[in-house]
Structure 1
């Protein structure tokens, strides 16, 4: 594999030399940091982040260099680190949040950033249903009213108790957060849904120099409020570039040739080939598994309304047959780890994962085929040749998988092989991305499927666990709300699980009773087994130390390494010129 990838790297060199943009020479390469973007910027002069398709309008540098969040969640510690805000208070009933803004913050045009900007931006989202970005819609659904207490203080009153309100909406929890816009500019917009906000401004230390469909260039300002107030030093890079790499081969060539400093995820073989050419390239972990865990751990969904998988014992048997270590070693090429629970394995989730492990509910990394077969036989199935049979029917299962990624299809191919060897006539059913997410998963049109629907919890357990309560159960053929409980899990175990999770909903974050409640609820979940956790999702991100040091790693874990998220501010501020 490594030899083949090396040849591919070489074959890409001439094409890349013709397509890599040449940047203005007033900023030296050693003063420039270049990040990868993995898609084309479809509408370069549109910086309205509140409308559909706004992800690329932020990840091309806008919410890493120009727009700043109120807080940034630290995945390693679980702490909500203040940025534009200095802190917040919450009422006892978890329905009122009072946020204090940091003194001295200014927009890049010199105007003061204050509570009026926050109130204006939130009210704009609340008043305009055409502002459909996820963060705008979430605020609209949760906030009853927002008001400026004074120039530096904002009070939110919610429609219902929600201890996660700040981290969900303003904490850069996953990808980004609700971003405050300058009232003195946006108030002149006739229609917030069509306003392009170009040229854009922000409170961050960089301003937009130029943008095209394949790159965005950001230049450091002469002054920035953070340095002026003593909040943080000016970042060292004079220029930040976000460059569309064009795919795995070309991004490998760029970073190996020192024409890129941080790249999107690559395969293990490609990464080892890059290191073979450029030993200055590092990853989150020095050696296997190389990668960092993505928030959406992988799992096998089970439709609990379809026989024989409506029997919890049969679902548990499948879980025992699956060898997660084999998936790690073969399907993922060693770039991840076996999941111990349903959660992403972050330091911030350790109290809850540890409680589950201490309760004896940790998933084994290897299979127990004999134990699984005993469960199957206990349900009346008899092995006849290759497969089990009962009442003249062969024990079989079809597993739907999104064909958009070889990671997905290779994993299911591995699981199919494991089930086949154990006596279940399994087969893979690949379907295209739109069909998988539009028809198969939400309507329960599957027996089993590969997904990551327990995604959500990165610092507390309720967000993921709430996705499997009985409140979201709908009949097969109806769309599951928000992809919640697509397995349609019901019954006594599901009821007991839901009662505990519902009790957790309004409990303050950090409540000492929650880990024990998680373990108790997880016991019911393990017994019911509506889905089977498999492995951690992974991002193998090459980072180049030729020009810049201070990249986030497992050893230097000031936060995760996802540089296209709003927390990319932390990465840029931690970079120092290589000696």
Structure 2
């Protein structure tokens, strides 16, 4: 029987079989070796919902988990208080006129490749990259000062001191200049000086995800040792990192950080519960289940109050065309640009049910682009407009705007077109998918049909940044911190995050017929004024006006602000959790022990 089987298998097929067995064995050995080695090295494993699109922090347009590990700024931010603390710079001095900041760098700084990190790198980062008009970015947006949009000047004073000088008073300058990533001149100079056939610097494609890890030079606590797309990013401790503890020991203490690419929050949570991850955001719907597992799973769930993020529904209000083709169907564009339509949608959304069903009661209604915990937040009792669930009010608004209902209860516009639109969000984010499903159920109560489709995050980003051919979407913006001017690139009419009426980026196909409304211009003007004002109480008044206008005209219809919940393995010591800083903002001083 055995010889008969052998006679039916050619030697070539047998070779394939043997090679396959060897490959599987080697793969298994490699994985086991990785796990064995990892067990001997102090490390933590965290997750990321998608592969990075780039390792370039200047042109990056999305939240990228890996960048914070490999790059650092002149200053750092305390994750509990929001106060600024030393980073690459050991101190800073502000002039009496508040227009000059002099940073003094730490001594003997080095990049992750061992090259000296100097004042020249700081000057290069800002003058040659951030302020370079051929390198458009949202980072560039926030440094445009005043009505003219002028940049601050950056100059070297000596080997350790660099001066930032603003052309006029600009309250956020210290925070923006201090927290921006510094890049290595020796590694990137050529990419700025050399251009392609269209005159664009090669820097625009530098530090892509195909860049060999050894060529990605940073100043942060870690460097990229290995990147396997769709699988993981392995970060090793930067031996040249500047921080040391009180006894002179180099920090961070944790040798390795592994970012597992897990493109679903459900899968990510499953991996955490099985012990594969050390840190995990806990969705409200799984809080009760996960809470019961704390002791057995050797982890603690931290709660930091309402999260510092926004979740919203927005419509594409851009009336423009490209090459004669409207970005949005003109019929639908008229609906979206009707203020009564947007207000009706806001009244028709059942936020209490969202909080109870999707967030399991672990959230609060969201009504402002500025976080509830932020000192600049304007509460409803001080004049912030809100939209309580009221379908009858929604129908009344629609009929006042010329919409009407047919005998089947379907909403029609004045020309008899049925009101129906496409709604997208990023697939894999279960909360956003659940929000979209509820909107699909809520809006038929006022006669509107919603065609809801989750799509890949990279496809969604391409629609927002490039094609601009979307109708409605559910998205969130987070990470702006406590400085309200951090939202200026969202509210400036030409900002790179002004997604509801986006201007084309430099080098993109022009848009004909884009219109900017008076309220958009006013919010944009107020953000400029807020940056110019140095008195904090007056700034609160200015940003209060921006919040009123945002809620009155509803370019973003805010949904729910969940509580900030994060689970961390108990073997990680030194955690100081907050909604502002997250679970590992002080990673440099965390330690791991086996339990």
Give me the TM-score of the superposition, normalised by structure 2.
Answer: 0.69
Structure 2 residue 278 is matched with structure 1 residue 261: yes
1:373 and 1:80 map into 2 onto residues whose CA distance is: 49
2:225 and 2:28 map into 1 onto residues whose CA distance is: 23
Superposition pairs for residues 386-405 of structure 1, below 5 Å?
386-388=409-411, 393=416, 396-402=419-425, 404-405=427-428
Gaps of 5+ in 1: 1-15, 172-176
Alignment partner, residue 10 of structure 1: none
Of residues 44, 63, 67, the one that matches 1:33 is 44
1:375 and 1:188 map into 2 onto residues whose CA distance is: 58
Residue 317 and residue 395 in structure 1: after superposition, are their counterparts in 2 closer, same or farther (change >3 A)?
farther
TM-fit CA distance, 1:548: 1.5
Alignment partner, residue 420 of structure 1: 444
Alignment partner, residue 79 of structure 1: 83
1:128 and 1:495 map into 2 onto residues whose CA distance is: 25
Residue 383 and residue 463 in structure 1: after superposition, are their counterparts in 2 closer, same or farther (change >3 A)?
same
Conservation of the 8 A alpha-carbon contact between 1:399 and 1:427 = yes
Structure 2 residue 181 is matched with structure 1 residue 178: yes
Conservation of the 8 A alpha-carbon contact between 1:84 and 1:102 = yes
Conservation of the 8 A alpha-carbon contact between 1:462 and 1:504 = yes
Residue 67 and residue 311 in structure 1: after superposition, are their counterparts in 2 closer, same or farther (change >3 A)?
closer
2:342 and 2:61 map into 1 onto residues whose CA distance is: 39
The residue matched to 2:157 in structure 1 has which SS? strand
TM-fit CA distance, 1:106: 5.2
TM-fit CA distance, 1:513: 0.3
Alignment partner, residue 340 of structure 2: 313
2:548 and 2:250 map into 1 onto residues whose CA distance is: 49
Superposition pairs for residues 272-351 of structure 1, below 5 Å?
272=289, 276=293, 278-285=296-303, 293=307, 295-301=309-315, 303=317, 306-332=333-359, 336-345=363-372, 347=373, 349=374, 351=375
Residue 311 and residue 51 in structure 1: after superposition, are their counterparts in 2 closer, same or farther (change >3 A)?
closer
1:301 and 1:578 map into 2 onto residues whose CA distance is: 50
Residue 488 and residue 552 in structure 1: after superposition, are their counterparts in 2 closer, same or farther (change >3 A)?
farther
TM-superposition CA deviations, 1:71-115 (whole Å, max 9, x none): 223465332222222343456777644222234645678776442
Alignment partner, residue 260 of structure 2: 244
1:457 and 1:108 map into 2 onto residues whose CA distance is: 27
Residue 209 and residue 388 in structure 1: after superposition, are their counterparts in 2 closer, same or farther (change >3 A)?
closer
TM-fit CA distance, 1:54: 11
Structure 2 residue 474 is matched with structure 1 residue 450: yes
1:371 and 1:103 map into 2 onto residues whose CA distance is: 64
1:136 and 1:418 map into 2 onto residues whose CA distance is: 40
1:495 and 1:224 map into 2 onto residues whose CA distance is: 44
Conservation of the 8 A alpha-carbon contact between 1:163 and 1:506 = yes
Of residues 100, 112, 117, the one that matches 2:104 is 100
Residue 487 and residue 327 in structure 1: after superposition, are their counterparts in 2 closer, same or farther (change >3 A)?
farther
Alignment partner, residue 3 of structure 1: none
TM-fit CA distance, 1:417: 1.9
Alignment partner, residue 490 of structure 1: 517
TM-fit CA distance, 1:418: 1.5
Residue 397 and residue 162 in structure 1: after superposition, are their counterparts in 2 closer, same or farther (change >3 A)?
farther
Conservation of the 8 A alpha-carbon contact between 1:284 and 1:552 = no
Alignment partner, residue 4 of structure 1: none
The residue matched to 1:361 in structure 2 has which SS? coil
Structure 2 residue 234 is matched with structure 1 residue 216: yes
TM-fit CA distance, 1:367: 0.7
The residue matched to 2:303 in structure 1 has which SS? coil
TM-fit CA distance, 1:411: 1.8
Give me the TM-score of the superposition, normalised by structure 1.
Answer: 0.70
Residue 537 and residue 425 in structure 1: after superposition, are their counterparts in 2 closer, same or farther (change >3 A)?
same
Residue 125 and residue 498 in structure 1: after superposition, are their counterparts in 2 closer, same or farther (change >3 A)?
closer
TM-superposition CA deviations, 1:97-144 (whole Å, max 9, x none): 422223464567877644244234445536988878865898899756
Structure 2 residue 172 is matched with structure 1 residue 164: yes
1:51 and 1:313 map into 2 onto residues whose CA distance is: 39
Conservation of the 8 A alpha-carbon contact between 2:117 and 2:184 = no
1:369 and 1:238 map into 2 onto residues whose CA distance is: 54
Alignment partner, residue 541 of structure 2: 516
TM-superposition CA deviations, 1:437-472 (whole Å, max 9, x none): 4457877755543334x7674222234366345677
2:124 and 2:394 map into 1 onto residues whose CA distance is: 58
Alignment partner, residue 7 of structure 1: none
Conservation of the 8 A alpha-carbon contact between 2:425 and 2:433 = yes
Conservation of the 8 A alpha-carbon contact between 2:71 and 2:218 = yes
The residue matched to 2:537 in structure 1 has which SS? coil
2:395 and 2:504 map into 1 onto residues whose CA distance is: 35
TM-superposition CA deviations, 1:161-217 (whole Å, max 9, x none): 65434433541xxxxx4224375x777999785696827776566677777663425
1:359 and 1:303 map into 2 onto residues whose CA distance is: 29
Aligned length in residues = 524
Conservation of the 8 A alpha-carbon contact between 1:71 and 1:81 = yes
TM-fit CA distance, 1:504: 1.9
The Cα RMSD (Å) is: 5.1
TM-fit CA distance, 1:231: 9.7
Conservation of the 8 A alpha-carbon contact between 1:27 and 1:238 = no
Superposition pairs for residues 377-392 of structure 1, below 5 Å?
377-379=399-401, 385=407, 386-388=409-411
Residue 265 and residue 122 in structure 1: after superposition, are their counterparts in 2 closer, same or farther (change >3 A)?
farther
Structure 2 residue 490 is matched with structure 1 residue 500: no
Of residues 528, 532, 536, the one that matches 2:561 is 536
